[in-house]
Amino acid sequence: MTKKKKISLRAPQRRGLVVELLGRIARENGRVFIRQYAMAILCLVAVAGATAFLAWIMRDVIDKIFVQQNRAAIVSLPIIVFITFSIRGLATYGQGVILARIGNNIVARYQRRLFAHITELSVDFFAENRSAHLAARINQNVSGIRDTLNLTITSLARDVLTLVFLVFVMIYQDPILSGIALLAGPPIALMIGGLARKLRVATREAIDINARVLASMQEAAQGITVVKAFTMEEPLRDRVERLILKAEQRSNRIAGITQRTTPVTEIVAGLAIAGVIAYSGYRAVVYGYSPGSMFAFITALLLAYDPARRLAKLQVQLERALVNASMIYEILDMEPRQPDAPDARNLTIEKGEIVFDDVSFGYYPGEPVLRGLSFVAPAGKTTALIGASGGGKSTIIALLQRFYDVSEGAITVDGEDIRQVTKRSLRSKIAYVPQTPYLFEGTIRENIRLGRPDATDAEIEEAARQAQAEEFILAAPQGYDTPVGENGMTLSGGQRQRLSIARALVRDAPILLLDEATSALDTRSETLVQAALDAAMQNRTVLVVAHRLSTITGADQILVVEDGQIAERGTHRELLDRADGLYARFYGLQTRDDRRPVDLATARR
- List the domain boundaries for the chain: 14-332, 341-429+511-519+535-605, 438-508
Give the range among 72-86, 200-214, 374-388 with minimum mean pLDDT: 200-214
Residue 595's pLDDT band, with cuts at 50, 70 and 90, is very low
Residue 94's pLDDT is: 92
**Higher pLDDT among residues 409 and 69, named by residue:** 409
The count of C-alpha atoms lying within 13 angstroms of the C-alpha of 36, restricted to the half-sphere facing its C-beta, is: 18
Residue 182's pLDDT is: 72
Rounded Cα–Cα distance for residues 405 and 421 (Å): 13
Residue 546's pLDDT is: 83
Element (DSSP H or E) covering residue 409: strand 408-413
Rounded Cα–Cα distance for residues 107 and 87 (Å): 30
Mean local confidence (pLDDT), 101-111: 88
User: Where do the DSSP E strands lie in 286-389?
Assistant: 354-362, 368-377, 382-387
pLDDT digits (tens, 9 = 90+) for 273-306: 777 778 777 777 777 776 777 777 778 877 887 7
Residue 6's pLDDT band, with cuts at 50, 70 and 90, is very low
341-429+511-519+535-605 and 438-508 share one fold: yes
pLDDT digits (tens, 9 = 90+) for 508-560: 899 999 888 776 666 776 777 777 677 677 788 999 998 777 778 888 999 99
Residue 354, pLDDT > 60, answer yes
Give the range among 172-186, 317-331, 466-480, 501-515 with minimum mean pLDDT: 172-186
CATH for 341-429+511-519+535-605, options being 3.40.50.300, 3.90.930.12, 3.40.50.1820, 3.40.50.11710: 3.40.50.300
Mean local confidence (pLDDT), 499-511: 89
Residue 283's pLDDT is: 75
pLDDT digits (tens, 9 = 90+) for 230-272: 777 888 888 888 888 888 888 888 777 777 767 777 777 777 7
| 3-class secondary structure, 153 | helix
Mean local confidence (pLDDT), 455-472: 90
**Higher pLDDT among residues 543 and 14, named by residue:** 543
Residue 10's pLDDT band, with cuts at 50, 70 and 90, is very low
Residue 459, pLDDT > 50, answer yes
Residue 591, pLDDT > 70, answer no
CATH code for the structural domain at 14-332: 1.20.1560.10
Partners of residue 385 on adjacent β-strands: 545, 559
Rounded Cα–Cα distance for residues 132 and 211 (Å): 8
The model carries a pTM of 0.71
Which CATH superfamily groups domain 438-508?
Answer: P-loop containing nucleotide triphosphate hydrolases (3.40.50.300)
Residue 9's pLDDT is: 41
Contact (Cβ atoms closer than 8 angstroms) between residue 355 and residue 416? no
Give the range among 83-97, 234-248, 270-284, 473-487 with minimum mean pLDDT: 270-284
Residue 597's pLDDT is: 44
Mean local confidence (pLDDT), 171-176: 79
Element (DSSP H or E) covering residue 49: helix 34-60
